[in-house]
């Protein structure tokens, strides 16, 4: 057997530009763009003295204080797969505070799948590092070495005290973690990230573990974009995962392998259906506030159940608008006559505004702040700035970041930043106050999961 070699994989962030709430229903689609902020996972062998055998996997997130998780693992009888147990915790932390359900579940699912493919082979110990690009957190961060700047920053806080910007860190984490662990342990004839079949298996396995870790809620569009990048997404049937036995119970291993490899997954991912026109880009603006997405989702779904006729009319109209938006973006990307038109983006502006009107209707009817008045004012303000086509409150809406379609010119971005500095929030407005608005340093990313060069992680604990 060949010696295990260090492996690194990264996955992009995401933004659901159209299809919030609709994407929870298989009859509708979500238009999701990948973003060029990535989460990276590096897996390396742990060197031990000759004759010493240990079964331990150490996971570190070195940009944060005391973010270390040590796991023991062993195979269970009755086809229950691999069980993972947390061995110790960081200093001055209780076990509950330092547990990370996303890492623990992703490790359990990945090792169980590996075990089904290599049933008679011992799974060697390893050291795993997770690193995140700056844009996932609003904490400023500092460089660890000024003489040789790193791609990554030290956030100087514990994970608990880190402020997320809402770009989908858990999905990018689970997907890059799963891909790196599979790439490290499995020979390419068993599983290969560079093949369509390898991507399909990664997608299904990451969906299964991410869904379990977050309590089987969500549509999975964020995992799809972590694997495939920007796409038009139709969710899988929830029954697929509801039928899977719990990790560590009899039959879990075979059931997981059958589900992940088999034909029953009914997700639809259309990469060709979405393109970004040359000369346009996405810009995310961070609103210093935030929303509780699960509570909002429950309320909207209750309104839909209580008012099916009114809700279905709005949802059907929104679906048509979302499809038209994807089609118009792709049309603009595939034509060369944009330069000759007085305003090539007239139709795009109209579609964005029509969809926003429908979202406000849904907001009003469901009494959920999907596009609250504060965000309406901010989007209207941004849309008047020269070079900005329009924007939306993405995903489930609320007081999180907004996303704008912007002409891809430096002066437009600079003017937007300056304009937001002087943007005044109306203090007389009832309800939640949005704080300072700033531009997040990301743009659209068409590519999904990819392997990375190990040199990228120099100075971040390689070989420890």
CATH 3.40.30.10 fits 7-272+447-457, yes or no: no
59-74 pLDDT, tens digit per residue, is: 999 999 989 999 999 9
Helices and strands (H and E) in the chain: how many: 12, 14
Cross-strand bridge partners of residue 59: 69, 128
Contact 89, 98 (CB under 8 A): yes
Helix (H, G, I), strand (E, B) or coil at 102: helix
Looking at residue 343, its pLDDT comes to: 84
For residue 70 the two structure tokens come to 């040590």
CATH number of the structural domain 280-445: 3.30.70.890
Looking at residue 216, its pLDDT comes to: 82
Q: What does DSSP assign to residue 447? A: -
Cross-strand bridge partners of residue 26: none
Q: How many residues does the chain have?
A: 464
Contact 31, 326 (CB under 8 A): yes
**Under-50 pLDDT residues of the chain:** 90-97, 462-464
Contact 388, 403 (CB under 8 A): no
This prediction has a pTM of 0.93
Nearest to 206 by CA among 183, 228, 186, 178: 178
Q: What does DSSP assign to residue 426? A: -
Delimit the CATH 3.30.70.890 region(s) of the chain: 280-445
Contact 226, 168 (CB under 8 A): yes
Q: Which strand ranges, in their side-by-side order, compose the sheet holding 402-407? A: 388-392, 402-407, 280-287, 437-440
Give the chain's end-to-end CA distance (angstroms, integer). Answer: 24
198-227 pLDDT, tens digit per residue, is: 999 999 999 999 999 988 888 999 999 999
Delimit the CATH 3.30.230.10 region(s) of the chain: 7-272+447-457
Which residues have C-beta within 8 Å of that of residue 46, sequence separation ≥ 6? Answer: 54, 56, 58, 124, 125, 126, 127
For residue 72 the two structure tokens come to 């023991």
């Amino acid at each position: 057997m060949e010696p295990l070699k260090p492996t690194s994989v990264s996955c992009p962030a995401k933004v659901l530009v159209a299809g919030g709430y609709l994407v929870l229903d298989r009859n509708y689609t979500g238009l999701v763009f990948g973003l060029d902020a990535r989460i990276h996972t590096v897996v390396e062998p742990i060197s031990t003295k000759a004759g010493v055998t240990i079964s331990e996997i150490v996971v570190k997130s070195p940009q944060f204080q005391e973010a270390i998780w040590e796991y023991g693992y062993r195979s269970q009888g009755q086809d229950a797969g691999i069980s993972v147990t947390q061995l110790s915790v960081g200093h001055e932390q209780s076990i509950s505070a330092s547990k990370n359900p996303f890492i623990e579940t992703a490790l359990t699912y990945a090792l169980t799948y590996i075990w089904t493919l290599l049933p008679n082979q011992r799974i060697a110990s390893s050291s795993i590092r997770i690193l995140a690009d700056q844009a996932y957190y609003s904490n400023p961060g500092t460089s660890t070495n000024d003489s040789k700047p790193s791609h990554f920053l030290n956030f100087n806080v514990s994970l608990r005290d880190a402020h997320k910007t809402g770009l989908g860190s858990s999905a990018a984490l689970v997907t890059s973690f799963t891909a790196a662990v599979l790439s490290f342990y499995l020979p390419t004839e068993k599983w290969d990230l560079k093949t369509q079949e390898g991507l399909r298996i990664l997608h299904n396995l990451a969906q299964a573990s991410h869904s379990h870790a977050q309590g089987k809620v969500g549509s999975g569009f964020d995992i799809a974009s972590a694997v495939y990048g920007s796409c038009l997404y139709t969710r899988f049937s929830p029954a697929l995962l509801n039928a899977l036995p719990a990790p560590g119970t009899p039959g879990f291993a075979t059931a997981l392998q059958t589900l992940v490899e088999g034909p029953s997954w009914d997700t639809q991912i259309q990469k060709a259906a979405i393109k970004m026109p040359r000369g346009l880009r996405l810009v995310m603006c961070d609103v210093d506030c935030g929303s509780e997405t699960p509570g909002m989702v429950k309320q909207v779904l209750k309104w839909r159940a209580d008012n099916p006729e009114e809700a279905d009319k709005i949802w059907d109209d929104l679906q048509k608008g979302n499809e038209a938006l994807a089609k118009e973006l792709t049309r603009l990307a595939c034509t060369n006559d944009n330069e000759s038109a007085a305003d090539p983006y007239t139709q795009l502006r109209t579609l964005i505004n029509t969809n926003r009107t429908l979202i406000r209707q849904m907001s009003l009817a469901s009494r959920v702040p999907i596009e609250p008045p504060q965000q309406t004012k901010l989007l209207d303000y941004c849309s008047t700035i020269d070079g900005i086509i329009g924007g939306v409150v993405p995903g489930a809406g609320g007081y999180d970041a907004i996303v704008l379609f912007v002409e891809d010119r430096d002066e437009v971005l600079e003017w937007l930043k300056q304009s937001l500095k002087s943007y005044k929030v109306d203090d007389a407005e009832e309800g939640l106050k949005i704080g300072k608005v700033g531009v997040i340093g990301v743009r659209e990313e068409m590519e999904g999961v990819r392997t990375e060069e190990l040199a990228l992680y120099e100075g971040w604990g390689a070989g420890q």
